[in-house]
Amino acid sequence: MPQISRVSYKPIYLQICEFIRGKIDSGEIVIGSRVWSESDIMEKFDVSRNTARKAIETLENEGVVSRIQGKGSFVSSPTVDYGLQSLMSFSEEIKEKKLVPSSRIISFTREHPDVSRAENLKIQEEEWIFKLERVRNADGRPMAYQIAYIPEKLCPGLLEYNFIKKSLYEVFEKDYKHILSWQKTVIKPIVADDYLAGILKISPKTPLLHTESITYLAGGTPIESNKHIYLSERYQFTVLSQRSESTRSIEEK
């Protein structure tokens, strides 16, 4: 029987959660595999059904496991923490989670921007841009759909690069010697239409997170306007908020 302490200040159901997390972290219970049922936990730890249920519910609420009606609970893929306070590429985010990033190229073209993209990139509509459309994967599983728009004048010859595994930001910085500085991002919830469902291998109407971003170089020149569609079950967004002096002064009046 796995060891748990019945005199510890820590509730038994939390000790069970820690034990299961340890099995997952060690690889003994792998991603996608079935986790012990309530009955299994009751037998292994000699606890009540209520305690077993609470342990499974806690792991589910934390996103560690996903419950499928009639089949049981299964180990979820780790979520990727998208930190809105730091500018990172998709590849950097995925590698930080100890996963392997890759991409499926849908299209990579040279074209003229529409009015909105030209305004975002602070260029004229008759200028040329590169449009890179990809499905972004982690360990071979779709995580996001991305379209990036880049002014040709900032990255001439970009079409020569293969972005199946290569990072766009790495190319910006190492090959074109650009200094990426900051990014403005707008986030909104959407649901998958038939096109997104097909390329992300999900069901239509699946909840998704849609972001529109503009990436700026040091000095304020836009180098990229992009659209990301994230699988919300595999992403969490972290926002760092600071209280301004103006807000404090208003409250003090």
Say if 12-75 and 80-238 have the same CATH topology: no
Distance, CA of 131 to CA of 161 (rounded, Å): 13
The pLDDT value given to residue 76: 75
Local confidence band at 246 (pLDDT 50, 70, 90 cut-offs): low
Question: What is the CATH architecture assignment of 12-75?
Answer: Orthogonal Bundle (1.10)
With a pLDDT cut of 70, the percent of the chain lying above it is 87
pLDDT of residue 236: 67
Domain boundaries, the chain: 12-75, 80-238
Rounded to an integer, what is the distance from CA 26 to the centroid of its chain? 23
| Stronger pLDDT, 203 or 129, i.e. the higher one | 129
Q: What is the pLDDT of residues 204-220, one digit of tens each?
A: 998 898 999 999 998 88
> Model confidence at 159, in pLDDT bands (50, 70, 90)?
very high
Q: Tell me which residue of 138, 143, 125, 155 sits closest to 223, measured CA to CA.
A: 155
**Which segments within the chain are labelled E, that is strand?**
65-68, 72-75, 80-83, 101-111, 129-138, 141-151, 180-191, 207-217, 222-231, 235-238
Q: What is the architecture of the domain spanning 80-238?
A: 3-Layer(aba) Sandwich (3.40)
